[in-house]
A and B are shown apart, each in its own frame.
Chain A
Amino acid sequence: MSQAFTKAMARNIFYGGSVFFILLFLALTFDTHNAWPQRDNHEAITEKVSEGKRLWEENNCIGCHTLLGEGAYFAPELGNVFKRYGGKDGIKAFIMSRPKEGVPGRRSMPQFNFSDAELDAIAEFLEYVSGMNTANWPPNIQG
């Protein structure tokens, strides 16, 4: 780089540019907070849904599945599984039916021995997620 462009100028671009874009990012974040109530399906967050989210977290479901496309890519997307399985019962039946020792040669979800109330909470959490406005993602029901 030429001599006319000094280190001090480069440093000022770094500090000035960073501060400007941090402020812009904060402004956009503020606006996002205002936009969420129309999109995030927060009215569906009941105590049961919160319990479902905790169960989702404390069993590390994200270690195999994606949820709205984020997580591991070993097992199906679950953001729209409520729609794919046609409701809560399909989800509960699938989780309950997993064999303890797995399926020979195949990927299988572990058997978590959830109680009926816990299964219900997880299914309601997934129902809540399926109601979020995700700009029409995923592209189709297969996730």
Chain B
Amino acid sequence: MQYQSQAVAKPYFIAAIGLFVGQILFGLILGLQYVIGDFMFPEIPFNVARMVHTNLLIVWLLFGFMGAAYYLVPEEAERELFSPGLAILMFWIFLVAGALTILGYLLVPYSGLAELTQNSVLPTMGREFLEQPTITKLGIVVVALAFLFNIGMTILKGRKTAVSLVLLIGLLGLAVMFLFSFYNPDNLAKDKYYWWWVVHLWVEGVWELILGSILAFVLIKTTGVDREVIEKWLYVIIAMTLITGIIGTGHHYYWIGAPEYWQWWGSIFSALEPIPFFMMTVFAFNMVNRRRRNHPNKAAVLWAMGTAVMAFLGAGVWGFLHTLAPINYYTHGTQITAAHGHMAFYGAYVMIVLTMISYAMPMLRGRTAAPSNRSQVVEMWSFWLMTVSIVFITLFLTGAGILQVYLQRYSGDPLPFMVVQDKIAMFYWMREVAGAVFMVGLIAYVASFFVGSRDPEATAVAGDSAAA
């Protein structure tokens, strides 16, 4: 670690991993409820488990982004963090607020939680991914502002690089777009239109800037390629992200009451959205091929390359599959959507956070550059187990989705929703098996932090190659 204050990233990363485990646990419950309909009913109905699953995902990714920023920005700015104390304080506020919200979901009926938190004063609850009580949303805004202040002051007072500037723009966009979660008109067409300003402009907009800058940072450190080259790529990639992704929002506006020209705008621009992801893949492989050093942390490099490939497959290819309006007319809101959602979130955002954790954690734990070989072997096993399982989860859900579309929407004699669900149950069973393998991978991932921590190569002072 070059700067003492980078240490504040550690609790953020630990919390992220802990919440990740919770997210997958609830994923397994949901998968089982798809085939054993009354599993845990009525104690934990599907809607509650799903809310926990998706909200934990969002919260742990945010923990990951913040941890990444706290680690990355001091090194880029070449100075200590503006206020490490504020970062730690915000960590605890965010963790406690998050935990209370999740407990609220699990222990109180949702309508009771709405009453308890006075949702009627400013109703924002009950919309997908934005289920948090209004008071929690306000808490998120406070944490985000304090975080941005801390990061912004550090950058302002230090060296300004493209990596930290792009990260700051991404984080700023994240905070600004979240403000639309407070706008909830009775008019459903408007409600849905602006709901996407949070959801789409996060995951297909500003989050990609965060992803790009973290990836660029890790590649600079692990490959030793000239910063000028990497930052040029970064700018081109994120330029393409916003050029395609902003109007690409239109692919959500086909069937929710907005004018029909969105079918053209949305189809054309979102069909181009895979381009920045493809460039990211080319970028990562190119930089690793042109590397000037062999970084001892092979696991981190594997995660970085994995991110580039899986983000392209999940967000790019699986997104393109159902983004054109004439196709989306049939696939909208089916298991095809779920298939895309799983691989895109894993490939782009789960993997970039794990890339950063993999790269930074050894230093945060007092190593020179990399964990022991034994630890890396276990970590790489976890990489393959989780990545291959998510591919199979995606394939099974895609199979389920194709059948669902045909039976319920496309055939001459469309069947009711629940009849179709019974017919495609086998795919849900296979998805659950793949999910269980994912959990094994995740356990291996957690275990990798405890394997071989006392092995000599983990504690030895490394040479030049580890200087980064």
Contacts and interface: CB of A to CB of B under 8 A. Distances in A.
A117 to B, nearest CB: 15
Interface in B156-204: 162, 184, 186-190, 192-193
B257 A39 contact: yes
A72 B128 contact: yes
A91 to B, nearest CB: 15
A35 B246 CA distance: 20
Given A10-B239, A32-B259, A140-B409, A63 B50 contact: yes
A95 to B, nearest CB: 14
A130 to B, nearest CB: 11
A21 B334 contact: no
A14 interface: yes
Contacts of A22: 242, 246
Contact of B247 (A1, A21, A53): A21
A56 B111 CA distance: 10
A61 B50 CA distance: 12
A96 interface: no
A interface residue count range (under 10 / 10 to 19 / 20 to 34 / 35 or more): 35 or more
B228 to A, nearest CB: 6
A101 interface: yes
Contacts of B410: 139
Contacts of A25: 246-247, 249
B235 A60 contact: no
Nearest to A39: B257
Interface hub of B162, B184, B188, B242 (most chain A Cβ within 10 A): B188
Interface string A11-38: 1011001100110110011011001100
A77 B334 CA distance: 10
A110 to B, nearest CB: 5
B256 A10 contact: no
Nearest to B166: A14
A72 to B, nearest CB: 5
B416 interface: yes
A128 B419 CA distance: 27
Interface in B223-272: 228-229, 231-233, 235-236, 238-239, 242-243, 246-247, 249-250, 253-260, 262-263, 265
30 contacts: A10-B233, A11-B162, A14-B236, A17-B242, A21-B247, A24-B246, A31-B259, A32-B193, A35-B259, A36-B189, A36-B258, A39-B258, A42-B189, A53-B188, A54-B123, A56-B126, A57-B123, A58-B115, A58-B125, A61-B126, A63-B46, A73-B335, A73-B338, A75-B417, A77-B333, A101-B42, A132-B256, A134-B257, A137-B255, A139-B330
Interface of B: 33-34, 36-38, 41-42, 45-48, 50-51, 110-111, 114-115, 119-120, 123, 125-128, 131, 162, 184, 186-190, 192-193, 228-229, 231-233, 235-236, 238-239, 242-243, 246-247, 249-250, 253-260, 262-263, 265, 329-330, 332-335, 337-338, 408-410, 414-418, 421
Given A42-B187, A57-B119, A69-B256, 16 more contacts: A1-B232, A18-B239, A39-B259, A49-B186, A53-B186, A58-B125, A60-B51, A61-B47, A64-B47, A68-B192, A76-B417, A100-B42, A103-B37, A107-B418, A132-B256, A139-B330
Interface of A: 1, 5-7, 10-11, 13-14, 17-18, 21-22, 24-25, 28-29, 31-32, 35-36, 39-42, 45, 49-50, 53-54, 56-64, 66-77, 100-108, 110-112, 128-129, 132-135, 137-143
**3 closest cross-chain pairs (CB), A and B:** A63-B47, A57-B126, A69-B333
